[in-house]
Structure 1
Amino acid sequence: MGEFDHEAAIAHTSTHLRSLGVSAQAGNLANAAAVGITEFVWRNGPIEDAHAGARGRRNKLHDGVMFARNTWVYHQALEAVTSSQPYALLDFEACLLDRDLVWPGTSGTLTQFGYGALGEIKKHTKKAINYLMALQRRFPHEEFLVLAALNGLLGADDHFGMPAWEGRVHAAMNRLRGQDPTFVERLKTEYKIDFGELLSQAPPVVHSDLPEVERALLNAPYELGAEALDWFAWNPVLDRDL
């Protein structure tokens, strides 16, 4: 197997990013890079294995905790790739691996949530950061950001931090405000889900302060707290395809 063709990847990824409304000219390339770094360094690593199955239940690492953590990690990644400090990625690494830091939006730490996989998480994170730093040294900043963004495009291109996320949130707000009867009917007829029953299970903030829900989902979902986010995780309300 030949060496990975970074130049071809830069060209291809740049074209695809532009089709999504992402470019240096648009001012959101760093955001896409932060999404990709979150996927590469954190989201698609041993923490996901720790989240799945009995270990995740035992460690209380539920979907809401993952939602909160992933969106918080994105902000740390964005800070790292927009920093003028030469070793910002190492600071990012230290932040991710801090075992005593209470994860924003939760009451737990890496020690609690990652119990049983802490060694694997550390090894994966350090290896990923070393790779990113090698890319950062080798390529001009804009090309490095494109390569960093590549990993985000392997998942959903409408994750938090990508342009399409805003549309998902606005659609969800219309649904929660009762302004999308087509969605309600489709849930009922095609998915056998009663919207009223679904809404009755929503966290209190959904019923009391939708503007705050919208603000947080657009800017920093972890500020809603993991328990509230657990309702939104995998919820058809936030599904772009419904």
Structure 2
Amino acid sequence: MGEIEYAAAIAQARERLAALGVTAKTGDLASAAAVGITELVWRNGPIEDAHAGARGRRNKLHDGVMFARNTWVYHQALEALNSTDQYALLRFEKRILDREFVWPGTSGTLTQFGYGALGEIKKHAKKRIDYLMYLQEEFSQEEFFLLAALHGFGAWDHFGMPAWEPRVRAAMDRLRGQDPGFVERLRIDYEIDFSVILKRAPAVVHDNLPEVERALLNAPYELGAETLNWFAWNPVLDRHP
């Protein structure tokens, strides 16, 4: 990508993020960049291919595990972006490629969950970290963040982006029984009985909804992969059920 293309990409990112209320001045540009880095380095790669196929089923790499892992990786990316250490991205790389570290929210490791694709996962991550380090060296901090954030535009309402909080608040209203329209839409349009979904909810959803809300807003992996799997497999967090 030449200088002209980079300039156009930076302008595009700045415009699109500003429309979401994300700018350097509002202080959440680093968060958007962390989402982009999570997508680029981790989520959209061999680990997702493994998750989506038979290997994912064999390795028990289900949606809840991915939910937990992706939100944890985001926090590591954000820490690297906020660091003044010039080698922070390399520390980030080492951390996410650690094969023996137990993934927060799970009882497994990269060795277990990525079995059969470990070499591909490492190659993918290292190549993209090299690219990010090039951008970090060539551009100002704001421009680097904008270029990194470009890779997260498909995740504009994921954890770490401004639209995530409204999704969580809406889900809490639904779980508290304060959104009868949602229940009716599920029943009429999709023939889904929301009360059945609720009966299958993890204990924490019934016993400590404030804790569920806090974790979803700040660190979803703290809820554990099994609870997150329940959220992944029902429409309560959906924008348009």
**TM-score with structure 2 length normalisation?**
0.98
**Higher mean C-alpha displacement, 52-61 vs 66-75:** 52-61
Matched, 1:238 2:229: no
Q: Superposition RMSD on alpha carbons, in Å?
A: 0.9
Structure 1 residues 102-137: Cα deviation after superposition (integer angstroms, max 9, x where no partner): 000000000000000000000000000000000000
What secondary structure is seen at the aligned counterpart in 2 of 1:214?
helix
Q: Please tell me the residue identity of whatever aligns with 2:207.
A: S
CA shift at 1:234, angstroms?
4.4
Structure 1 residues 132-183: Cα deviation after superposition (integer angstroms, max 9, x where no partner): 0000000000100000000000x13100000000000000000000000000
Matched, 1:185 2:184: yes
CA shift at 1:27, angstroms?
0.5
1:1-242, aligned counterparts within 5 Å? 3=2, 5-153=5-153, 155-242=154-241
- Structure 1 runs, 4 residues or longer, greater than 2 Å off: none
Separation in 2, partners of 1:214, 1:168? 11
Separation in 2, partners of 1:99, 1:143? 33
Is contact 2:72–2:221 with CA below 8 Å preserved after alignment? yes
Separation in 2, partners of 1:24, 1:204? 40
**Structure 1 portions without partners, runs of 5+:** none
Q: Mark the CA change 1:231 to 1:157 in structure 2 (over 3 Å): closer, same or farther.
A: same
**Structure 2 portions without partners, runs of 5+:** none
Q: Please tell me the residue identity of whatever aligns with 2:147.
A: L
Separation in 2, partners of 1:218, 1:17? 20
